[in-house]
C-alpha cells in the first residue's frame, strides 16, 4: 500500500508543477504542497523514479517529447513490417502476444467467458487485472478501491462470470508491475475488439518503453494514414492499461494530451519510463 500512497503524492506533485509551470515552483514549494519536508520529498521521489525531481521534469517538457518522437518514428514504422510483437528495452525484455476473442466469446456481454481477477500494485497505483484461460483481457487502475474496480470490470463484461483468483496470466502481469521481470517471458492478451482496433493495439505494443509516438504515426504504421481519428478511438478504447502502452501516444506538438486514467498519471508513466529506459539508451 505504501507504493500506492507514494504515487498519489507524486501524482499530486506533478499536477501542482504542471499548473504552476510558468512560475517554475522550487523543490521547497512542491514539497510543501504535498505536506513533506524538502528532504523527505526528494528522497521519496528519487526512490520512486530513480532520479531527482528536477531531472525527472526534464522528461516532461515539449522539447524532450519532440526529440523522442523524431527518434521513435523510424523504429515504429520498421516494426510494423516485422513478424511477431515485442516491446523491448534494456530494462526488461517482454514479449506480448495478442489474440482476439471470437464473436462467440464476446457476444452478449461475454456470457461464455469466465474471468479471474486480482488486485495488484504498480509504481503508478493499484490495478485490477482480469484474465481468461487464454490471456489477459482487462487491466485498469483501481483508484476508487476494490469494490468499484470490480463493478467496472463487471460492466465491461456484464454477463461474464467473475472470480477473484490468481492464475498463470494475471500472476505474470502482476509480476511485471512489481518490477519483477526475471521470469516474465511472454505475456498473452485475449482481447475483445474489432480487427482494426487489434491492429492498432498490436502496433502500440511495438513502441518500446521510453519512446513515444503520435496518432498520425500509428495510422501510418497500421497502413491507414488517413484514419487518424479511428486510430485515436482505438487508442482510447484500450482495455489493458500499461501492457498496451497507450500512454506512449502523445500529440505531434509534443503535448502529452489526455489519458483515460488521469493526465498526471500519464506524465508520471512517461517520465518514469524515460528515467528507467529511454534516457539510458540515448
Catalytic residue among 221, 246, 250, 268: 246
Active site residue 246: yes
CB-CB contact of 128 with 162 (8 Å): no
Distance of CA 20 to the CA centre of its chain: 25
Could you tell me if 94 and 184 are in contact, meaning their C-beta atoms sit under 8 angstroms apart? yes
Is the Cβ–Cβ distance between 218 and 231 less than 8 Å? yes
What span, in angstroms and rounded, lies between the C-alpha atoms of 96 and 187?
5
β-strand partners of 114: 161
Kindly give, in sequence order, each residue whose CB lies less than 8 Å from that of residue 99, ignoring residues fewer than 6 positions away. Answer: 134, 135, 188, 189, 190, 191
Rounded-to-integer distance, Cα 122 and Cα 175, Å: 9
Asked if 85 contacts 186 with a C-beta cutoff of 8 angstroms, the reply is no
| Distance of alpha carbon 116 from alpha carbon 152, whole angstroms | 14
Query: Which residues carry out catalysis?
Result: 246
Amino acid at each position: 500500500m505504501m507504493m500506492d500512497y507514494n504515487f498519489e503524492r507524486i501524482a499530486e506533485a506533478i499536477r501542482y508543477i504542471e499548473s504552476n509551470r510558468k512560475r517554475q515552483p522550487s523543490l521547497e514549494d512542491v514539497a510543501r504542497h504535498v505536506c513533506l519536508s524538502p528532504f523527505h520529498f526528494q528522497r521519496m521521489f528519487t526512490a520512486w523514479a530513480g532520479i531527482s525531481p528536477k531531472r525527472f521534469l526534464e522528461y516532461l517538457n515539449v522539447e524532450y517529447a519532440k526529440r523522442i518522437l523524431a527518434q521513435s518514428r523510424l523504429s515504429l514504422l520498421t516494426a510494423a513490417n516485422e513478424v511477431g510483437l515485442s516491446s523491448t528495452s534494456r530494462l526488461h525484455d517482454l514479449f506480448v502476444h495478442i489474440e482476439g476473442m471470437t464473436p462467440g466469446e464476446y457476444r452478449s456481454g461475454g456470457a461464455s467467458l469466465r474471468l479471474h481477477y486480482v488486485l495488484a500494485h504498480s509504481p503508478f497505483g493499484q490495478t485490477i487485472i482480469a484474465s481468461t484461460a487464454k490471456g489477459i483481457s482487462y487491466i485498469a487502475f483501481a483508484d476508487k478501491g476494490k469494490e468499484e474496480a470490480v463493478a467496472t470490470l463487471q460492466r465491461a463484461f456484464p454477463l461474464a462470470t467473475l472470480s477473484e483468483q490468481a492464475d498463470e496470466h494475471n500472476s505474470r502481469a502482476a509480476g511485471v508491475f512489481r518490477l519483477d521481470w526475471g521470469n516474465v517471458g511472454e505475456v498473452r492478451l485475449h482481447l475483445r475488439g474489432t480487427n482494426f482496433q487489434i491492429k492498432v493495439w498490436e502496433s502500440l505494443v511495438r513502441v518500446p518503453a521510453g519512446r513515444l509516438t503520435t496518432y498520425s504515426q500509428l495510422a501510418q504504421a497500421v497502413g491507414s494514414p488517413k484514419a487518424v481519428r479511428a486510430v485515436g478511438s482505438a487508442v482510447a478504447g484500450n482495455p489493458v492499461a500499461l501492457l498496451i502502452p497507450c500512454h506512449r501516444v502523445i500529440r505531434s506538438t509534443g503535448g502529452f494530451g489526455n489519458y483515460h486514467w488521469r493526465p498526471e498519471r500519464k506524465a508520471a508513466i512517461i517520465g518514469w519510463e524515460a528515467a528507467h529506459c529511454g534516457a539510458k539508451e540515448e
